[in-house]
Amino acid sequence: MQTSSVAVLFVHGIQGQPKQFQFLIDALPPELEVHAPMLPGHGSNAKAFHSSGRKEWLAAVRRETEWLLSSGKRVIYVGHSMGCLLGLKVSRELGDPYAGMLLLCCPFYPIITGGFQNGLRCYRRGRRKKDPWVEASRAANSVPVRSILDILLLARPYTELLRLIREIHRMEPKGPANIRFRFAEADRLVSGKSVHYAGNWPHADIRVCPVCSHSYFTEQTVRELRQDLSALLREAGV
């Protein structure tokens, strides 16, 4: 089978995990090289999560990007939530090497209490009437929250996220010419100010997806996101 010269790098958000992107990965051509790493501190427990931070997360994304570029690949970057910020930061550090970026729910301006409320919702599994937005958030979560102490351990990584956001705000809004921001109309973690801030990126394609939350996307939006990624791949030569 012929191997494509294009690779797709998927980077999840804080408390997230790679399987969040399965609906996009499943629609990709089989010859494409796909990388979807688990960020440091994720996929284990609250204590391991507490010990992670922006330096480790950035280093992981930088390492994946440099490895793909060194193998001669053109890289399409897909990020969700904090994964968007990590991609924008690494892109600037490496001279904007991505052939295109698809950024979902980028938290330029987060709702500060949202992360802790999200942790509490995951902890209180089964105690409330099922809400598809909450269920999607639980399914995306890779950091089990089993006690109030675990919720308290979320504080340090979320402080690190805020520091990353400050670093992004200090950057000149500049990046790949082909960058698409997709926001969710009913996002409980990302403020609407983020949509306006995304407009600072030159030539950015920005859309707000209706009836979607931070982790929940409707069938219509799933189809549109697949089309977005397909368009980026075509422009990269796939």
Residue 1 lies in a domain: no
The whole-number pLDDT of residue 113 equals 62
**pLDDT 10s digits, 89-136:** 999 999 999 999 999 999 999 987 655 455 555 555 444 556 777 788
Residue 132, domain member (yes or no)? yes
30: domain CATH number is: 3.40.50.1820
Say what the pLDDT of residue 118 is. 53
Q: What is the pLDDT of residue 36?
A: 97
- Is residue 138 domain-resident? yes
Is pLDDT of 193 > 80?
yes
Q: Is residue 51 domain-resident?
A: yes
137-172 pLDDT, tens digit each: 888 888 988 888 888 898 899 999 999 999 999 999
Domain that holds residue 110: 6-235
pLDDT of residue 238: 76
Which letter, b or e, does each residue of 105-134 get, where b requires 16 or more Cβ atoms within 10 Å of its Cβ? bbbbbbbeebbeebbebbbeeeeeeeeebb
pLDDT one-digit tens code per residue, 213-231: 999 999 999 999 999 999 9
Residues contacting residue 70 through CB under 8 Å, at least 6 positions apart: none
Q: What is the pLDDT of residue 128?
A: 53
**Residue 117, pLDDT score:** 55
**pLDDT at residue 60, as a whole number:** 98
- Give residue 2's pLDDT band: very low, low, confident or very high (50, 70, 90): very low
The total of structural domains in the chain comes to: 1
| Cα separation, 8 vs 73, whole angstroms | 9
Indicate whether 205 belongs to any domain: yes
96 is a domain residue? yes
Q: Considering the domain boundaries, does residue 108 fall inside one? A: yes
Cα–Cα dist 106/205, whole Å: 13
Note the pTM of the prediction, 2 decimals. Answer: 0.92
| CA-based R_g, the chain, Å | 17
Long-range contacts from 216-224, C-beta under 8 angstroms, 24+ separation: 216/132, 216/133, 216/135, 216/136, 216/137, 216/184, 217/23, 217/184, 222/23
To the nearest 10 degrees (0 to 180), the angle between helices 155-170 and 54-70 is 60
* Residue 18 belongs to a domain: yes
